Amino acid sequence: CGVFGIHSHPQAGAITALGLHALQHRGQEACGIVSHDGDRFHLEHTLGLVGDHFSSEAIIGKLKGPQAIGHVRYATTGDTTIRNVQPLYADFEFGGFALAHNGNLTNAHTLRRQLVRRGCLFQSTTDTETIVHLMAIARGGSPVDRLIEAVRQVEGAFSLVALTPNEVIGVRDPLGVRPLVLGKLGDTYIVTSETCALDIVGADYVRDVEPGEMVVLNEQGVQSLRPFQPQGRRFCIFEYIYFARPDSVMEGSSVYNARQRIGAELARESGIEADVVVPVPDSGVPAALGYATQSGVPFELGIIRNHYVGRTFIEPTDQIRHLGVKLKHNANRAMIEGKRVVLVDDSIVRGTTSKKIVEMVRAAGAKEVHMRISSPPTSHPCFYGIDTPEQSKLLAHRMSVEEMRDFIQADSLAFISLDGLYRAMGAERRDPQKLTFCDACFTGDYPIALTDALDHPPVE
């Protein structure tokens, strides 16, 4: 998911819509904006894309007032119904409160059961609603105090943006798994998931919100609070590999440059004689450029992507996913026929994409097809906000690299090593003095307790 919040700007609603448009890659199922005009809240939620709904003056005109928050959603918990669309909204003694969440709570079911026993009536099936109920029963008075009390009880990954009658609040979980940045547009502060959402409205990037930090944007500017004990940092390494937009800067590093360095490292580790390097667009492009530069094998757009189809994995059913892949890519025969082709993609999840692409490239006359992947094998599900399927559906959980090569019918298959990935990031795996990341989907080393999963262990 993606979040955006802005305080004190006469066009807060319109700016939030633009910000969400830039974050569209983080979720295409639904979106919403809540604004406050000093007196009342205004809510606008919809299923589907930002541009399809938040483009008319009639809709934007309804989002009155100088502060607003917004959300783009792809479901990691809860189904796709309008009542699960965020920002969530609730009435408190202090007035209204709206909340938007990127991430995934790992003890939400456990807390929910306790809350239901205490009489709380849940209205959605999202994990995020747990935070609202924890606020409702909190002892503190002010919205900030209540939110602090609530987030201290939840476990998991969360970058939150909240709106109260007087302030916009941003919070990042203690390990900073999901991104959150602070920006400035004139005298106005913005808090959002990625810097590309600042660029689109002409705002300057100020800094990342720190892991475990809460920022309160109000009339006085920005106030920084520390509701949690410092615990180190475990930013999601998969944001660099795939999820974030390549023009964003995360934790001080360009996502695009990181992908190129990962591609170069991949070429150093498992380069092979070939005639052409072809990315699986769009996600494989920067890594393929890095691979081509490092190996000296020419880069060509040997696969063309149809841009009017969204990210296939976000479509919910297997049937549509199969269809989506065919709709999305076509081989560019002129660049492939008679050639030894190195294909570069960011990840193999179920293996559907790679299998189709290899088949397509062979059908277009490739002499050899070598697959190179700019992440280690995805062998474990993510419980922190990226929608990977259950473990049994992960190709790398079921198969060795050689079995996967055979499954996708490639002449060779190689993944970047975990060490190579860290090298490319200029980081050290578990050195507290250096940058370190969450890499659980590649290692099974989960940095945050999986309370719900242990409560209801998944069937293997």
Q: What residue ranges bind ligand SF4 (CB under 6 A)?
A: 177, 236-238, 382, 384, 386, 438-441
237 binds, among Mg ion, ligand 5GP, ligand SF4, none (CB under 5 to 8 A by kind): ligand SF4
Nearer to Mg ion, 183 or 284 (CB): 284
Q: Which residues pair with 30 in a beta bridge?
A: 47, 73
Q: How far is CA 183 from the centre of its chain?
A: 19
The reply, when asked if residue 283 is annotated as ligand binding, is yes
Q: Give the shortest CB-306-to-ligand SF4 separation in angstroms.
A: 26
Nearer to ligand SF4, 369 or 382 (CB): 382
Q: Please, which residues have CB within 8 angstroms of residue 429's CB and are 6 or more apart in sequence?
A: 418, 419, 422, 436, 439
The reply, when asked if residue 236 is annotated as ligand binding, is yes
Nearer to ligand SF4, 115 or 386 (CB): 386
Residue 346's nearest CA partner among 424, 444, 239 is: 239
* Sheet with 412-415, side-by-side order of all strands: 276-279, 340-345, 368-373, 412-415
Nearer to ligand 5GP, 131 or 343 (CB): 343
What is the contact mask toward Mg ion in residues 257 to 296, using x (rule: CB under 5 A)?
A: --------------------------x-------------
Q: Give the shortest CB-415-to-Mg ion separation in angstroms.
A: 15
Residue 448 · residue 382 · CB < 8 Å: no
Q: Give the shortest CB-384-to-ligand SF4 separation in angstroms.
A: 4
Nearer to ligand SF4, 127 or 167 (CB): 127
Which chain residues interact with ligand 5GP by CB under 6 A? 242, 280, 283, 313, 345-354, 386-388
Query: What is the C-alpha separation between 22 and 1, in angstroms, rounded?
Result: 12
Q: What is the dihedral of CA 378, 379, 381, 385, to 10 degrees?
A: -30
Nearer to ligand SF4, 7 or 380 (CB): 380
349 binds, among ligand 5GP, Mg ion, ligand SF4, none (CB under 5 to 8 A by kind): ligand 5GP
Which residues, 50 to 89, sit near Mg ion by CB under 5 A?
Answer: none
Which residue, judged by CB position, is nearest to Mg ion in the bound state?
283
399: exposed, middle or buried (Cβ count in 10 Å: 0-12, 13-18, 19+): middle
The reply, when asked if residue 39 is annotated as ligand binding, is no
85 binds, among ligand 5GP, Mg ion, ligand SF4, none (CB under 5 to 8 A by kind): none
The reply, when asked if residue 345 is annotated as ligand binding, is yes
The reply, when asked if residue 196 is annotated as ligand binding, is no
Q: Give the shortest CB-404-to-Mg ion separation in angstroms.
A: 16
Residues binding Mg ion: what is the number (CB under 5 A)? Answer: 1
Q: Give the shortest CB-93-to-ligand 5GP separation in angstroms.
A: 40
Nearer to ligand 5GP, 228 or 291 (CB): 291
Q: Give the shortest CB-361-to-ligand 5GP separation in angstroms.
A: 14
Residue 193 · residue 209 · CB < 8 Å: no
> Residue type at 106?
T
313 binds, among ligand SF4, Mg ion, ligand 5GP, none (CB under 5 to 8 A by kind): ligand 5GP
Catalytic residues, by residue number, are 1
Cα→Cα distances 426→122, 176, 262, 301, 346, Å:
44, 18, 10, 29, 19
127 binds, among ligand SF4, Mg ion, ligand 5GP, none (CB under 5 to 8 A by kind): none
Look at phi and psi of residue 86 and say left if phi exceeds 0, alpha if psi is from -120 to 50, else beta.
Answer: beta
Q: Give the shortest CB-237-to-ligand SF4 separation in angstroms.
A: 5
Examine residue 447 and say whether the peptide bond preceding it is cis (omega within 30 degrees of 0): no
348 binds, among ligand 5GP, ligand SF4, Mg ion, none (CB under 5 to 8 A by kind): ligand 5GP
- Binding-site entries for [4Fe-4S] cluster: 236, 382, 438, 441
Which residues of this protein are in contact with Mg ion, per CB under 5 A? 283
- Binding-site entries: 236, 283, 345-346, 382, 438, 441
- Binding-site entries for Mg(2+): 283, 345-346
